[in-house]
Amino acid sequence: MPCRTAMAALGLGLALVLAGAQAQTLGRGKLLLTGGVSTIDGPAGGGLTPWAVTGSYATEGEIGATAFLTRVRTPDYALTSWGAALGLGERAELSLARQDLDTGDNLAPLGLGGLHLKQDILGAKLRLAGDAVLDSDTWWPQLAVGLLHKRSDSGALEPTLTGPLGARRSGTELYLSATKLFLAPGVLANLTLRATRANQGGLLGFGGAQGDGTRVLPEVALAKLLARDVAVGLEVRAKPDNLNASVLGAGALQEDDWADLFAAWAPNKHVSLTLAWVDLGRIAPAVQPRRQRGAYLSVQLAP
């Protein structure tokens, strides 16, 4: 199913869930923030990396929904991401996201000033084993497997990406997440292994003429509950760096890992706010060599 058709279908499903949500109270037994927040790719987790949890506060036999809007602002770029997700009990999750990276005037020397790099992301996640809350007094984590199908739209840059750089417009990522909640001290740890060949998360296509292989890369997150409704933490997401040795010269499109320090606040089960300092490394160092560090703000809503 094409991403736009899937987005329309999920949007309709979300509308139906929201319309009927007033007739029931979802997730009465789930704790605040135990479903994580919305990542920039759509699935539940931190801001940058998915966790093994399913989004929303839906429990067994319930369907929950979330919608999110995220804005990242660095000195030279601005990323907007928005989307929605359906939680099918505590077993599965479907998500959709749309990303839009405003490159500003950074590509003006190439005649591409004001270019927007966009992509649609369709995601699915299935819990395999464990329960982050019920197993919090053991060492066994909650495990989930997921996939993210991405299709990019690089506008006027596409002939260069798909031509001499050898990148593709679409790609599918697979990931395995293990999430462990230590309830007594209020600590959550997550390890995600992602099989990917996405360049800058997919905004610059997938693979390349000099490095087209899929790599399995780690992503880690650590969070501390300061109160029942407030958590702080950090994330690190490794990147494949497929275009580092491109025809534009060594290092011209070097890709750095991503990291953030975040604080999440959930005053109730209907809204959460995440504020972070994020480091996206260098994005196309040939045109803008400085690291892109800045602010991250995300709002998630649920019925």
Q: Which residues of the chain are modeled with pLDDT < 70?
A: 1-29, 211
Domain count, the chain: 1
Q: Based on the number of CB atoms within 10 Å of its own CB, is 290 exposed (0-12), middle (13-18) or buried (19 or more)?
A: exposed
Q: What pLDDT score does 213 carry?
A: 78
Q: What pLDDT score does 210 carry?
A: 75
**Domain span at 88:** 3-301
Q: What pLDDT score does 19 carry?
A: 43
Q: What is the pTM of this model?
A: 0.90
Chain center to CA of 67: 13
C-beta neighbour count of 288 within 10 angstroms: 19
Q: What pLDDT score does 4 carry?
A: 55
Contacts of 13 (CB under 8 A, 6+ apart): 65, 86
Q: CATH no. for residue 37? A: 2.40.160.40
Contact indicator for 62, 24 with CB cutoff of 8 Å: yes
Contact indicator for 190, 179 with CB cutoff of 8 Å: yes
